[in-house]
Amino acid sequence: MNMKKFVAFLLIFTLSLSLVACGKSEQKESSDDSSTPVEETKDKPFEGTTLSVLLAYGGAENSFDKFTEETGIKVEYLEMSTGAALAKLQAEDGKTEADIWFGGGVDSYLNARDLGYLEAYKSPNASAINPQYNDKDGYYSGLALVPAGWIVNEDLLKEKGLEAPKTWEDLADPKYKGEVIMADPSISGTNYAIVSGLIQAWGEEKAWDYFERLNKNIDFFAKGGGEPLEKVAAGEFAIGIVAITGGTYSVGETSPTSVVYPEDVIPWTPAPIAIFKNTKNLEAAKVFVDWYLSKEGQEVLREADARIMARDDVDAPELMKDLDKSKLIDFNLELMGSQRDEILARWKELVGEK
Amino acid sequence: MKSNITNEERANLALSFDSILDKFIFWIVVISLLLFILYPVVMVISTSFFYRGTFTLDNYKNLLNSNNLKLIKDSLFVASISSILSTIFSFCIALFTFVERKKIKKLIYRALMLSMISPPFVSSLALIILFGRRGIITHNLLGLSVNPYGWQGIVLLQTLGGIPLSSIMLISALHSIDTRQILASRDLGATTTQTIKNIVIPAIFPTILSVLFLSFTMNLADFGTPIIIGGKFKMLATETYMTIFSSGDLGKAAAMSILLIPPAILSFVFYRKNITNIDNRATGTKALGSENYDFQLPIWLKFVLTFITVSFFIIVVLKYGSIILSAFSINTSGKLTFTLKHFEEVKFAYTPAFLRSIIFAVIAGFVSSVIGILLSYYTHRRKIKGMSFIEFVSALPYIIPGIFFGLGYIVGFNKEPLLLTGTTAIVILNSTFRHISVANKATNAAFTTIDTRIEDASRDLGASKFKTITNIIFPLLRPVFLTSFINTFTACMTTVGAIIFLVSPKNVVASIVMFKNITNGQYGPASVMASILILITVSVNLIAIKLLNTKEMY
């Protein structure tokens, strides 16, 4: 008999919960709105403000505490790949709750800019950054540089009696057949940047001829930029074409992998930062961008995740000392953005169903 | 005379209050399903008709091109094979359990409950580690170098993934067969195999259909498995998913996801037709008989069933084993070193995320089970007109890929008066309404074995409709409630796809944090999180089993 009462109680409890849940959250929302600056001091004018960050920069969350300490601005973040974030922005029609977009694929930023979701802001600190990394109208700025390279599984190479490739040309050598994995460039922004970068570096003819040969070594294209790393770490493939960040190195702590930079040319993308047009905390968001583009902010961010920072006056992290910056491709991001459809169509024709 | 009238009046009064309550509950079920399933689905699909605010049919012009038709064909092929295989294996496991001793029954049942816990990506990763090109089993033990990437890999993973829920539904159904029928069959000289063929299978046929339909739609809409293990082989759900991420083209992706709906409608119609046929046939069966009867399987059958069951559990143990092992160890160049380092990396900062996960999943589990059961009741017991449409609506979230169900909530609930984006409620509502179909299908199957006369008797004895629901329907459906609660709870604890767009910094849940660890290549901490998720889910499921006291199920 107790059972009946229990079930009846559950029924009523749950149904009412579903109603209460709606009411509760609205209350919560309104209380959030009132959390505008409480105290105004001179050096921390935005003390008490909370900025909401969409994050696609592994490890960067470790730098937020320092920022909060310096400025009094609190940071909440949500990790989301830039492709997913762009889909979300479209679904919300740009009315996002987030204030800042932090890191990720620059092609999504270009897209979002064209859809009118971003706020133009030229930080005074942006002048210290190579203009190649920034949007010319200030819709985004470059935080760091993400070079492309390879992650190799040493065990597998040893087992097959192979050496790690040294140049892109090596990678297309038939001896690596079936051992190379790369993400589909139509899905992964970084991998598209690699394709586009090589075209810009070598010219159309040479690049497409190369892709045709490289394609023969690739069994199938991964469905996400993070997958080649996983598969190489798991020993499924010997060589993965990846974007290199601190995270790429840390995989080596638990699996027999190491990071290799191509010796001929190194494609790259900037890890950008942008402010959303829909932000309600524009001034605080500007403080945020300024801080991360300052020398101090850049150094803090480098400690949080080892990357080559956008500012020239910030040294490369210890991990990446062996990266030869002169090998970086002279990369035109605008061209990369405008040629996307054309390049990907030709790419699809080349690789077919893979 | 006088007192008679007052009694009748009182009864009428009570009745009218009761029917108001009954109507109220009915409309809550209907409206909530329309608002939280149909509306967001319609909204996300409607994005395919607009390009930057203007109406267009561009997305539909080339929808049925040869490329997409091939995708449909391939998807139907894989989804059919996986769902048929997993139903067959589940039936074997269920039958094995059915004839076993009580202790073993209990053990298998609980083990199945636990094996439903399958954190996404981690499981696939574990299976790649076991069966991949350099898998521990395929490569190290058997010396093979198999290539798991292709449709065979998808079928393997989907089949394994579908077995726990399907087996549980089938075991519940087997135990609600009137054992006297089996006894009668045996007494009349039928062999065990004949009894299985003529009594057991027909009796649980509705459940077999439910299981088949559920796993077919789930497999059709599954994008996670093909993405990881599909290799060159492409499926419709994966392609729609990638259209979002590759071209950022929500409209085109939404149009493609529509292609998933016709096959699902067809299978739904087939399912409905068969289940109602049987509805009319089975009128008086509910397990009442004794438990001690002779039901020995022939040796060869027993051997096959044991082999399938044992193999399945070995794979499950290996899967969990490899997750837990990687939580406690570092594997460099084939050398395993045990360590607690990963636990240090999983900071206490994640505690709120775990707590939120539990709370959200418990609420979603309860509400979706209750609504699913009520939906079934109003559709199949009260046979209210138009309810079969509502029932189809409840299956929609299983038909379209989860990611669209999530996006639909954003498109649908980002404006006044339905402003829910960024709130906690939207995450819970989404998780709740995504899983109604399981409770609904499980209840439908159970109803076919529960005598309607029990309800009639209840009402004849003066119980109100509301009381019949609370005192008859729910207690009888306790095993169904438990299955559906555990399924939804488990799914919510581990889900990523549908809610990845709905969580905001304020309400991040554990599965999303774990997903982040995986995408950053931190498998150690990810395995720790997966192990904690598994532990929590196991504990809550065990509590649920205790609370709902399922002793009577056997």
Q: Which residue has the higher pLDDT, A258 or B19?
A: A258
**Three-state DSSP class for residue B16:** helix
Single out the residue of B272, B163, B172, B116 nearest to residue B480, CA to CA. Answer: B172
Q: Is residue B8 part of a domain?
A: no
Q: Which helix (H) or strand (E) holds A40?
A: none
- Where do runs of H (alpha helix) occur along chain A? 2-33, 64-71, 82-92, 106-114, 154-160, 168-171, 189-202, 204-217, 227-233, 246-250, 282-293, 295-304, 333-338, 340-351
Query: What residue has token string 């003390």?
Result: A47
Q: Which residue has the higher pLDDT, B142 or B407?
A: B407
Q: Distance (Å, rounded) from C-alpha A96 to C-alpha A89?
A: 6
Q: Distance (Å, rounded) from C-alpha B453 to C-alpha B133?
A: 58
Task: List, for residues A132-164, the tens digit of each pLDDT value.
Answer: 899 999 999 999 999 999 999 998 899 889 999
Q: Distance (Å, rounded) from C-alpha B152 to C-alpha A21?
A: 43
**Three-state DSSP class for residue B527:** helix
CB B446 within 8 A of CB B172: yes
With a CB cutoff of 8 Å and minimum separation 6, the contacts of A141 are A123, A126, A129, A133, A134, A135, A272, A273, A274, A289, A293, A310
Domains and CATH numbers, chain A: 50-145+270-321 (3.40.190.10), 146-268+332-351 (3.40.190.10)
Task: List, for residues B311-326, the tens digit of each pLDDT value.
Answer: 999 988 888 888 888 7
Question: pLDDT-based confidence at A21, cuts 50/70/90?
Answer: very low
Q: Which residues 135-164 of A are in CB contact (within 8 Å) with B?
A: 154-156
The CB density around residue B535, as the number of other CB atoms within 10 Å, is 12
Measuring CA to CA, how many Å separate A295 from each of A61, A126, A142, A314? Answer: 18, 11, 13, 7
Question: pLDDT-based confidence at A41, cuts 50/70/90?
Answer: very low
Nearest CA in chain B to A243: B520
On average, the pLDDT of chain A sits at 85
With a CB cutoff of 8 Å and minimum separation 6, the contacts of B37 are B393, B394, B396, B397, B433, B436
CB A167 within 8 A of CB A252: no
pLDDT > 70? residue A38: no
Question: pLDDT-based confidence at A97, cuts 50/70/90?
Answer: confident
Please, what's the b/e burial string for A208-225 (b: 16 or more CB within 10 A of its CB; e: otherwise)?
A: bebbeebbebbbbbbbbb
Q: Is residue B226 part of a domain?
A: yes
Q: Which helix (H) or strand (E) holds A256?
A: none
The CB density around residue A324, as the number of other CB atoms within 10 Å, is 10
Most confident segment among A315-329, B78-92, B133-147, B328-342: B78-92
Most confident segment among B102-111, B220-229, B331-340: B102-111
Query: What residue has token string 């904690």?
Result: B532
Measuring CA to CA, how many Å separate B177 from each of B99, B151, B210? Answer: 13, 37, 16
CB A50 within 8 A of CB A73: yes
Total domains present in chain B: 1
Mean pLDDT throughout A313-326?
A: 86
Question: pLDDT-based confidence at A39, cuts 50/70/90?
Answer: very low
pTM for the whole thing?
0.77
Query: What residue has token string 């009570």?
Result: B14
Question: pLDDT-based confidence at B533, cuts 50/70/90?
Answer: confident
Q: Distance (Å, rounded) from C-alpha A217 to C-alpha A171?
A: 8
Residue B495 tokens, joined: 């889900």
Mean pLDDT throughout B150-177?
A: 87
The CB density around residue B293, as the number of other CB atoms within 10 Å, is 12
pLDDT of residue A73: 94
Mean pLDDT throughout B40-66?
A: 82
Percent of chain B with pLDDT over 90: 17
Task: List, for residues A168-180, the tens digit of each pLDDT value.
Answer: 999 999 999 999 9
Which is it for strands A74-79 and A50-55: parallel, antiparallel or unpaired? parallel
CB contact under 8 A, B501 and A224: no
Distance in Å, alpha carbon of A64 to nearest chain B alpha carbon: 14
Q: Distance (Å, rounded) from C-alpha B14 to C-alpha B401?
A: 46
Q: Distance (Å, rounded) from C-alpha B72 to C-alpha B77?
A: 8
pLDDT of residue B56: 82
Q: Is residue B287 part of a domain?
A: no
Mean pLDDT throughout B441-467?
A: 80
HSE, side-chain direction, 13 A CA sphere, residue A133? 26
Positive or negative torsion for Cα A316, A318, A323, A329? negative
Supply the CATH number for residue B250's domain: 1.10.3720.10
Query: With 0-12 CB in 10 A as exposed, 13-18 as middle and 19+ as buried, what is A19?
Result: exposed
- Candidate from A4, A14, A58 with C-beta closest to B370: A14
Backbone angles phi, psi at B435, to 5 degrees: -115, 15
Most confident segment among A80-94, B24-38, B270-284, B325-339: B24-38
Q: Which residues 185-224 of A are in CB contact (within 8 Å) with B?
A: 186-187, 219-220, 223-224
CB contact under 8 A, A84 and B246: no
Percent of chain B with pLDDT over 70: 87
Q: Is residue B9 part of a domain?
A: no
The CB density around residue A3, as the number of other CB atoms within 10 Å, is 15
Nearest CA in chain A to B405: A91
**Three-state DSSP class for residue B182:** helix
pLDDT > 60? residue B29: yes
Which is it for strands A50-55 and A100-102: parallel, antiparallel or unpaired? parallel
Q: Is residue B372 part of a domain?
A: yes
Which range of residues forms the domain containing residue B477? 14-58+66-280+299-553
Q: Which of A11, A13, A18, A249 is the mutation pick for testing B, counting most B CBs within 10 A?
A: A18
CB contact under 8 A, B367 and A17: yes
Q: List, as one string, the DSSP characters of B18-61.
A: HHHHHHHHHHHHHHHHIIIIIHHHHHHHHGGGEETTEE--HHHH
pLDDT of residue B120: 62
Q: Is residue B85 part of a domain?
A: yes
Task: Tell me whether A2 touches chain B (CB under 8 Å).
Answer: no
Question: pLDDT-based confidence at B2, cuts 50/70/90?
Answer: very low
CB contact under 8 A, B250 and A87: yes
CB contact under 8 A, B501 and A91: yes
* CA B214 remoteness from chain centre: 7
Quote the ipTM score.
Answer: 0.71
Query: What residue has token string 């091109």?
Result: B65
On average, the pLDDT of chain B sits at 81
Positive or negative torsion for Cα B223, B229, B232, B233? negative
CB contact under 8 A, A154 and B333: yes
Cis ω before B226 (30° cut-off from 0): no
